[in-house]
Every structure is written in C-alpha cells, then in structure tokens.
Copies of this chain bind each other. A is one copy, B any other.
Amino acid sequence: MSPDAQSSNQPSKKDVSIGAYLLGRLKQLGVKHVFGQPGDFNMGFLDLIEDDEGIEWIGCCNEMNAGYAADGVNRVGVLVTTFGVGELSAMNAVAGAFSEMVPVVHIVGTPSTESQSQGALLHHTLGNGDFKIYHKMYENITVAQTVLSHHNAKDEIDRVLRECYIHSRPVYISIPTDICVKKIAADLSQPLVLTIPENVHEVEYAAINRVIGRIHKSANTIVLIDACASRHDISKELLDFINKTGFPFFTSPMGKSIIPENHPLFGGIYIGSVSEPHVKREVEEADLIISIGAIRSDFNTGGFTYHVSQAKTIELCYNRIKVFFATYEGVSMKHALPKITACIERMPSSTISPPYQHNLLEDDVKDQRITQNWFWHEVSSTLLQENDIIIGEMGTSVFGLMDIRFPPGSTFIGQILYGSIGYSVGACLGASLAATNVKERRRVCLFVGDGSFQVTAQEISTIIRHNLNPVIFLINNNGFTIERMLHGIKRKYNDIAQWKFDQTLEYFGGSNEVGRTVKLATKSDFKSFVSSILPATPSRIQFVEVMMDKYDAPRALIGTASFTAEEHMKEKVLPMLHEKLHKKEVSGEQ
C-alpha cells in the first residue's frame, strides 16, 4: 500500500471546494473507487464524485455491503453514506475493518450546519435533536474522527487521512451539506506526510542489541509471520530479513501469502495444535521464535492452542518490540527490522519439511462426490494461479483456504479475527475493482458458503453492473456448517432457505447473458470446469455452485472446533469427524 506519487505544477494555493479537496487527497492515496449509497445529505458530495475524472462512484445495494467493498480493495478504501440510516447500516462493516486493521475512510454526509445547530427534527434522526450521537458511536470503531467546518477542513482532512494510513484503521469524516461546497485556499501539490515517526534512538538501539544477542545464541531460530506484517506494510523488509538470515518461516492463517509460499524457506501454516504435525513440531521445538505482527485470536491460533513459550519468543509489533519478558515500548518494527537485518549474517538453522504434507483420504477418493478435503486440495493444486486475489468467507471456506498452498504473488482476503459472515461478497466487489487497476487484470477467486452468501447476495448485481469478472465458488451445503461444528449439529436454526442459486447471475444481472453459471456435483464436473477457464482470466463473471455435504468440513475447522465447540460436540461428534481425518491417507495430488 503506497500512495500514488503526485508531481504537480499547480500554483501553490488555489480556491477549491472542501469536497474537492477531500477527493484530491483521496486520489493521492491511490483511491480510484468510492463505495456507498446516495442519500439526501450526501448528494452534494456525490455530484463532485460523479463529475471527477479520476474517481468512480460505485453505488451499492446497501451500506453494509458498500463497507465490505471498501474494505476489500486492499489499500485505502472509501465509503460514503448518509447521516443516520446510512452510517449505522455500515457500522458492522467498519467495525470489521477496525478489528482487522484495514484502512477505510468513512465519509458521512450530514444535515446542514444550520439544521444541526437548530436541533431540527429531521428525518434520519432519533427524534431527539441530537446530531452528535452517531458520530459518538463511531468513536468506538474508528481511529480518528472529524466534523468538517469551513474553518478546520483542510487540516482535519489531512489529519484523519494520515491517521487512517499510519494506523491502518478506519476513520470517520462528517461533512454537513453546506460545508461540502464551501471554498478554501489549499495546496494539493504539497503531499500528505505519511511516514511514521522514527523510533527513539536509545530505546531502539537497546532493543535491537537485545534481539541480535538472542539470535546469536540460538541454534535453531524460526520466524512466525502474522497479519500485522501486511497491515503495517513491512513485507519487503521482512523478505530481506529472511533472505539474509536464512531462517525458516511459518505463518499464521492471517499471515498467509505475505511472503510467497513458494519461498524455499517457507515451512507451513502454524495454527497451534491444529497445525499439521510436522509444522507443530518444527515451530514448537525451535530454540527461538521471532514473531512478526502477531494477532493471537482464537481462530488464528487453533483455538488458543499455541505451545510457544514467551521465554523463547521475540515479538516485533508496529509499536513495540518484546524480547522474552522485556518490552521496548514505542519501537516500531518498520524502522527497526531493516537495522536488525543490516547487523546480522546468514545463520545456521535446521532443515524444514515441505510445508504442505496432508494428502487425500480414503473418503475423498472413494466416489465422485466432492468432499471438502478433496475440494481444497484441488483448488490448491489445479485452480489457483500466480497473482490471484483469493477471498475466503468465514466458514468452511476460510478454514479450507488457511490450510492450502497459495501461489506466488497471490493476495488473501478474509476476516479470520472479526469473522462477520457475508463480508466476502462485498469484499469481492472491492477486490474485483482493485484488480482492474493494474495493467494485467488480476483474477479474483471468491469462496463463500450458501448461508453467508445470503447475507449480502444482492451485491452480485453491482459486480455485474461494472462488468467485473470474479470466479465465485458458492459452496452449497444447506446452511451454516461452521455453526454445526460448534453447536447444535442437527438443529434447524442452522438450516437455510434454498434459493435457485443457479439463477443468481440472471436474476441480479437482469439478463441471462451476463456471465457463466455452472453447477458442480462431481469431481469430474469440477475438473472440467477448471480446465475450461485456465489459464486465462475469464472475461466474464463465473458463478460456480459446488454441492457438498452439510456435515463435511475442512480439516482445520474440525481441528479448531475440537478446542472451541460446546461440550457435546467435543465429546461426541468431533471425535468421529477427527477419526475420519486420521484414516489411512491415500496418495493424492499433493
């Protein structure tokens, strides 16, 4: 994520409307699309967007979906809503971006300064004359907030956008209708300052010294990469460190693909006790673990089953370094890591096993039905390609994906921490638009279960309307399998309504010619479909319904559920599913 450079010859200051200034700054952050819904308090701002050559308005079906789309662009995303009804509809999406550390700028069109100061009983209010209440609610889920006025607009816009970028978290900008068109003298040719402050020299020096000392004492060091390494943009620094030291590295599920998985030093995915046995052993038996950007949430750690002692762990975070039990506050890894790399030579380390060793099971190959385990193996070995954007919905999809090999250059989008179902369909819209920003349009592959799909399904129409071309795999397994694994496996509340999923493109696209729909019930169906789309990125949207059993789940989900499910499930159901997984493996594609 880096802002587009702007080398402009504009005169130093000129009159520009506040709305236009905001758009100018957003474009400097690389923003090309703005997501949202029109409402009478934001349409003045939408006029500016619609008339702007460099930025495109993407009207969504509702604001939650628009929020997910803004999250899915995988750099600074922008969401525009209207006062009250719009901004509250988007609350869950913005909270998700806050939790997962995604930089989303949420711009809310609000009633005019005059109406607000009068406490007018306008529509979209709570009927109590309080115009600050929604803003106040947003303080809980954004890292900076502002209400623009004629006086403060320039400084405030710069401040909150900087906070958004630096902390990689959502911010909230309220623009009253009358303020949007007010002119200010402003100089867009002065770029936003987006660098984070240097570390305090003495503290950083002490921390680095300690880190290097520990590294030199260890005979067997591994690196464990997690999500904050990408959120705080140190993948390049990290790759340099790994290449120079020669340390094997493992990643958490949320850390997948930050360093390409075809790297010779890649050891696999560490998910605590849910890991493949060889990965678990290699991580937990290391002398020293250098943990980069950790987010130790339940589903990212196999249900809190890390067996990694703090007494042999060095943690690098965006705002501190911790060596065993000593914390060096305020030392950012962004500045410290290159200095560590510079001070260290290639180190001896133990050899590691190939990262992915789990093979197909008897159950997976005994007939033509598509099992979860077979499906994810196949996705990894035959479908995914270099530079794919891979989106996984919370559910069997994300647990299936966390356990398979991703191709080099790929990007992984999912909500393993926040876990809001329906996220992936909105995110697919954002990611598909972002994929058009590069010369060779990247392919987007979305994996979503039927229950989650129903949450936000209508956004498929926006994907179609903008001629985007993701490959969408809808896993039709009649409901919430992830919930079944945790509680109430046979309960009706985990069932869903059956839709005619194979009419999705026709219904939401207004025509039966907008894309291609296929329904896959057998392994041969899947193989034919994959060979039909390879190797090129399909030119039209592909909607692929894959039939699976409602009680089947990927290995990592069954494993995680074994630690987090209700007692009945832990005692009775999951052991049976586990047993199935431990049947004699047969040779598979991988």
Contact = CB atoms under 8 A, between A and B. Distances in A.
A140 B130 CA distance: 10
Contacts of A464: 497
A352 interface: no
Contacts of A458: 454-455, 457-458
A493 interface: yes
A297 interface: yes
- Pick from A140, A491, A497 the residue with the most CB of B within 10 Å: A497
B497 A507 contact: no
Contacts of A488: 38, 43, 46-47
A39 B84 CA distance: 26
B454 A461 contact: yes
Nearest to A455: B62
A503 interface: yes
A237 interface: no
| Identical copies of this chain, number | 2
Nearest to A101: B127
A494 to B, nearest CB: 6
Interface string A247-258: 000000000000
A35 to B, nearest CB: 12
A518 interface: no
Contacts of A465: 497
Nearest to A416: B123
A530 interface: no
A273 interface: no
A507 B503 contact: yes
Interface in A24-66: 38-40, 43-44, 46-47, 49-50, 57, 59, 61-62, 64
A455 B61 contact: yes
Interface stretch (A9-17, A92-100, A192-200, A573-581): A92-100
A148 interface: no
Contacts of A89: 64, 91-92, 420
Contact of A483 (B40, B126, B480): B40
Nearest to A136: B140
A182 to B, nearest CB: 15
Nearest to A506: B500
What 10 pairs between A and B have smallest CB-CB spacing?
A88-B92, A85-B420, A498-B510, A43-B487, A123-B419, A461-B497, A89-B92, A507-B507, A62-B455, A61-B454
12 contacts: A40-B487, A43-B487, A50-B492, A95-B126, A121-B298, A123-B416, A123-B418, A454-B458, A461-B499, A499-B508, A499-B509, A500-B506
